[in-house]
Amino acid sequence: MAKCEEGYLCDVCGQDVEEITDSDLYLRFVIGLIDPEILHSTPERHIRCNPSLGQFIVDDDFAPILTSGEFAKSQLDPVFVRVRETLVTRGWQRLRQLVGTDLPILEYPLLEVQAKLKRLSVQD
């Protein structure tokens, strides 16, 4: 992933976000939290630099992020946590599927997010 030659710099740590599988921005995009119209102007972060979202990835290939405080998933409603884990994990797995593909960016999101975007564009 590179924006010009500079790359995407993490808004938190300042380091390059080199891989799409490390990208909080693209994770939020594929799960429907970021509109494609503002993708290019939204700050980037590493997933690990946004533990409030990254803590919901539950996959053997992703080292768990443990958080504390009132927004730690251990402090949240168990039903909300299960739903969020399912969505965010699927999003991260989608990022892994995108590696090496040349899909149009509007085909990056999960299928239900793509369907929602299509419905919204028809309404405009």
- pLDDT at residue 81, as a whole number: 98
92 assigned to some structural domain: yes
Q: Which 3-state string (H, E, C) describes 21-34? A: HHEHHHHHHHCCCC
15 assigned to some structural domain: no
Cα 124 from Cα 119, distance rounded (Å) = 9
90 assigned to some structural domain: yes
* pLDDT-derived band at 123, boundaries 50, 70, 90: confident
* pLDDT-derived band at 111, boundaries 50, 70, 90: very high
Domains contained in the chain, number: 1
Backbone angles phi, psi at 17, to 5 degrees: -100, 95
96 assigned to some structural domain: yes
Query: Are the C-beta atoms of residues 5 and 41 closer than 8 Å to each other?
Result: no
**Block residue for tokens 């929602």:** 116
- pLDDT at residue 8, as a whole number: 87
Q: What is the mean pLDDT of residues 77-83?
A: 98
Q: List the domain range (segments joined by +) for residue 25.
A: 20-123
Beta bridge partners of 44: 10
- pLDDT at residue 93, as a whole number: 98
Q: What percent of the chain has pLDDT over 70?
A: 94
- Structure token pair of residue 54: 């990254």
- pLDDT at residue 4, as a whole number: 47
- pTM for the model: 0.90
- pLDDT at residue 1, as a whole number: 41
